[in-house]
Amino acid sequence: MKILKYIRNSLLLMAVFMAGMDSFAQYSHGQMIDKIIAKVDDYIVLRSDLDKAYLEYISRGQDGGDEVRCGIFESLVVDKLLLAKAEIDSVEILDEEVQMNLDQRMQIIISQIGSEQRLEEYYDKTVDEFKAELFRDIREQMLADKMQRTITADVKITPSEVKKFFNSIPKDSLPFLSTEVSIGQIVKIPEVGKNQKEKAREKILEIRNRILNGTDRTGEYGDWQIKIKENNVLELVDKNDLRYTGTWAYDVNSRLFTLELNEISFEANEFQSTWKLTRSGNDSIKFENGDVDNSSSFYVVKDENIKRTSPVITLDYLTGSWRVVKFNGKGEDFSALARELSDDPGSARAGGDLGFAPRGTMVPEFEAAAMRLKPGEISKPVETDFGYHLIQLIERRGNEFHARHILKRPDFTEVDFEEAEEFLDSLRTMILEDSLVFEKVAKEHSDDDETSGNGGFLIDASGSSRVSVEDLDPVVFFTIDTMQVGQISHPIRYRMRDGKEAVRIMFYKDKMSPHQANLKEDYQKIQMAALNEKKQIALSEWFNDAKKEVFIQIDEEYNTCAILEE
């Protein structure tokens, strides 16, 4: 059996295809008639899996056909065998690793589609529902990848093997490579000023106080001050210290709000999905109830930026300048505030829950603070590179801990960006004057972990620093389109893949015109292709042994693919 023979004649051997999130945005809403076409122990391959993988392959300009389809089917069966053997060999992937991978992919796909709202409208489901459906697929993909790396970990390639591999490719089958460019970048993430840091810290302290003590339940309008106390007690005080005290109640069945104030009782049914508080003379206050769907205790919170002088105040439910908030009698719920206020979108949807994390997976400051807490205890503000955290320990289990957090990121100011631009501009000047080397400066000063280790240069799937213009990010493509080879751009503001705002200078080092692949100019790509083939041979040998240890059943319709033959 020859694994992935259908791409054997392509210079750049593709990795075993697995339909993941990166491909989801390309598929239509159309429903396919589905059925199981392969079983590998408890894992299955569906016809829809094969159809999606095949469509993805040919959508990239590759030739199709029965042989290609069989090759893709074979790779899917191998993937399931990798998963089955991973269970037998106790190879595991932590849920936290899967969640982190999933969050990163979601950020990328949301940035590509435009917004979470557009994503939800397109698929007619929430982001949480979308992620829940993909969690298992991403976990299986990561587990299969880990198992495959384990199998091929010791596979190496020598220069003579690279040359032999290249010479084995028929000359008329050597690919014609499109225009390629070498692009380097030095990235600087602006440093937040002290004032902005202090504002973020104050916000996190305010949230902590709300959790521990509840919100300041005092609101003012006109000459009146409203004080909502525990046990459904309400007090109104005017500027002359005239006081009205009473109690209020809400009946969830009749949707009736009742206020008893100085022995005067007022009742009202639904009113345009809002609450209204109306001052009527000096001795009566009327509450009118709207769209409130439970019987919990409520109090009002006033937006400090809104000033009202009218005697009529509208309390919009969860929106507007006033809102109705659930209250437990002591403080506000950590999870609810995380969903509402945290600047970490990945965990905010889960109420700030980060799941179990082994030691060493979180940044040191966060981990140290979390490990010092008792279960249920809430930390003081913890500063990391991400901002200020409020941490609540849920459980500690050996070297793992389960926590939730609320994050507030300091906001950048225009001054912060200008300082980053000045810093990069000074580096650019010194590089152009030959007093500094671009690659060395990128390794020492660039804030982009993906490229700094490569001397700032973008790399392709083969690890080459020459990237096809067809694979460039559109923003990068249009930037270098205005530059000459050898130029270094002035500082440019942009958004990184993880959503952070940053500034960068770009070095247009080299341009390679379209040409037929050859050893001299394309050695790195050919080396990677040769190594991939050698790994595929090792994987094929492993497959022939491993398939004897697990149950594999192929649908009769696909017997012509001869997957189980030696």
User: 286-340: per-residue pLDDT in tens?
Assistant: 444 333 433 223 333 333 343 332 222 333 322 233 333 333 345 778 998 998 8
Residuewise pLDDT in 10s, the chain (566 residues): 443 433 333 332 233 223 333 333 333 344 446 789 999 988 899 998 898 888 888 887 778 888 888 889 888 988 899 998 888 888 888 877 888 788 777 777 776 676 777 777 777 877 777 778 888 888 888 998 899 899 999 999 999 999 999 999 998 888 888 899 999 999 999 988 888 889 999 999 999 988 887 655 444 444 556 666 666 676 666 667 767 676 766 554 544 445 555 443 333 333 223 334 443 333 333 444 333 433 223 333 333 343 332 222 333 322 233 333 333 345 778 998 998 899 988 788 888 998 888 777 788 899 999 999 999 999 999 999 889 999 999 998 887 899 999 999 988 888 889 999 999 999 999 999 988 899 999 999 999 988 999 999 999 877 888 899 988 988 999 999 999 999 999 999 998 876 678 999 999 999 999 999 999 888 888 998 899 899 988 988 888 888 888 888 898 888 888 877 76
CA distance 487 to 304: 51
Q: CB within 8 A of 515, min separation 6: which ones? A: 176, 177, 521
Please count the residues of the chain. 566
pLDDT for residue 525 = 87
pTM, rounded to two decimals: 0.54
Give the chain's radius of gyration (CA, Å).
31
CA distance 57 to 68: 9
Whole-number pLDDT of residue 215: 59
Q: Return the pLDDT at 244.
A: 65
Cβ atoms of residues 135 and 98 within 8 Å: yes
* C-alpha–C-alpha distance, residues 211 and 10, integer Å: 59
Tokens of 119: 């994503």
DSSP SS3 for 269: coil
Pinpoint the alpha helices (H) of 374-453: 414-432, 438-445, 449-452
Domains of the chain: 5-177+518-561 (1.10.4030), 181-190+412-513 (3.10.50.40), 195-210+332-408 (3.10.50.40), 215-326 (no CATH)
Q: What is the mean pLDDT of the chain?
A: 76
**Range 229-268 burial, b when 16+ CB lie within 10 A, else e:** eeeeebebbeeeeeebebebebeeeeeebbbebeeeebeb
Q: How many CA atoms lie within 13 A of 185 on its CB side?
A: 21
> What is the Cα–Cα distance from 115 to 497, expressed in whole angstroms?
14
Checking 439-448 for CB contacts under 8 A at 24+ apart, the result is: 439/184, 441/186, 442/184, 442/185, 442/186, 445/186, 445/188, 446/185, 446/186, 446/187, 446/188, 447/187, 447/188, 447/189, 447/502, 448/185, 448/187, 448/496, 448/502, 448/504
